[in-house]
Structure 1
Amino acid sequence: MSDQQDSTNKTPAQLQKEAEKKAKQAAKLAKFQEKQKRIDEQKAVAKPKESKKKDEKVKPVTEYTANTKPGEKKNITCELPTAYSPKYVESAWYEFWEKEGLFKPEYNHDLSKPNPKGTFTIAIPPPNVTGTLHLGHALATSVEDTVSRYHRMKGKTVLFNPGCDHAGIATQVVVEKKLMREQNKSRHDVGREGFVEEVWKWKKEKGHVIYDQLRKMGAAVDWDRAVFTMDPKITRAVTEAFVLLHERGVIYRSTRLVNWSCMLRSAISDIEVDKKEITGRTLLPVPGYDEKVEFGVLVSFAYPIDGSDGEESERVIVATTRIETMLGDVAIAVHPEDDRYHHLIGKVRCLNL
């Protein structure tokens, strides 16, 4: 109604102008729809465009190809790399340094005479022969190598001593698994001497790899002084150190609670123990057992007192989470001020099996 009233109030010129405006809008909309239709048709028939990847040029790694015999000074008359190449730079030098004895404390120094500039000695913390070196070894060796080279540049007599460690229990476990896997034998089957021989074989295999890794890192160590912690001179030194410490009373033998491994049949250090908190009955896998073992259950059982037979026989109730230890119990301790047990002190209890 209002539109009709507005149109009647407008002049013919205004009405014509509005009609032309609406016609232009309709034509513009039709043109847009036609254009959109053509685009949709083109997309329907067009093939998907293949993405053009830029040709990635892989820069070749320049390697050292000159004929330099191991131990001889590096021949650098060959073509130099256009960019820094670690393989080119590091190649052949270490063998030359080692042959020339540059890392020996005797180099340019007479060890029979004191060096007025001083001496510096550092022993590389011997890596375990249970495997190969990792990033942590690389970090530590780099720091130690830097320090030893610094003191050598200061004119001191320097010894950076390499070696590797038999790692005790850790290596024993690895070698035992290897024996079982390859020969289906345990360490008890091969005997002590045979097992020690297997450990030496493992050391020669893994120790060689470890030493090659140290050479790759350029460690300035004296390889003629490399040691293994099972070498006779090292074991003698360890034995002598323990004897001296025992004689001085610094170390002693005593009865203490230990971490006993039923699988290894040996006492092990705290660092070898995986601690696990449990809040109740829990089944856990234990080496040497086919099925999981129950832990976290408090069991109460009664020890009968010897000489108190009959229906009113006296008993002492004990609660424990390790009931199997009852076979090794030799005594029961009670609180001296607990009146319930005063009359039992000094009596004998029976192991009720």
Structure 2
Amino acid sequence: MKLVFAGTPEFAAVALQRLLEAGHEVPLVLTQPDRPAGRGMKLQPSAVKLLALDHGLQVAQPRSLRLDGKFPEDAQATQWLLRDVGADAMVVAAYGLILPQWVLDTPAKGCLNIHASLLPRWRGAAPIHRAIEAGDLETGVTIMLMDAGLDTGDMLLMERLPIAADDSTARLHDKLAALGGRLIVDALARLDTLRRTPQPTEGVTYAHKIEKHEALIDWTQAAELLARRVRAFDPFPGALTHVGSDNLKVWSARVDPGDAAGAAPGTVLGCDAQGVRVATGQGVLCLTELQRAGGKRLPAAQFLAGAGLRPGLRLGQNDTGAPHVS
């Protein structure tokens, strides 16, 4: 088919690569504008843009697609491009811009979305993170025909994927990206015969965007929830606590079978090569991979060799003993 592709991060780049390998023609790629990133805050192109340019594809980076929005000139220019291309369909994966009705109506066979959840569970921006955080046992990918709602379109294909006990968002992302790339190629090959299935009205949940303030660990929460949140927030924004005025990132943790013995939440109970045991509101959390500000992610044994953690310290408090707030 002749396709327009719209996507931004690595999840979308995997799908674009699979579409190109399958022989589809992609005369136009839409992706988000370059964003400042890194310590120097230099403008960085998206993963999709880099892949598209590597294949010599035309790239457009509108700031908005709304003809009556803040950047109508971007929307108008994109409208001309889409009409000129005359695509059979548009494939959308983690694009990051709302598609107004005029975009949905432009491709002859509609707009297909690759969504990393089992719809209608986890509609929205962060389905992978929220599935892990919630303790879901499985997730998957849904290929749907887009409509004007937020991930509300009719479903074409769905495939389930178990969530492993040690899956972080980074690990699960890679599995789902590969699955999404395979499913979209399959869906396009059978597009004229696939059955459109309306989404159920029951079981709808929303995967709200991950905010930086969520990184701060609340030690009064249960160890089981905190362990899931550590996995859900790897690689972004990372789980954060404090030792006095110093930041401490926690990248890996597990529930410890031990007893907090009445210790206040956030109290370090023990430190050894197996990890840093910390009391929580319910149970004990063992921190197994940590990172100090400006340092590297290290296993607990290596981290403790150069750190001042010791039993009795209270994590999550500033130098005055008051709790840190986000």
Same fold judged by TM-score > 0.5?
A: no
- Indicate the structure (1 or 2) with the bigger Cα radius of gyration: 1
The structure that is strand-richer by fraction is 2
The structure that is helix-richer by fraction is 1
Give the structure-1-normalised TM-score. Answer: 0.22
Give the structure-2-normalised TM-score. Answer: 0.23
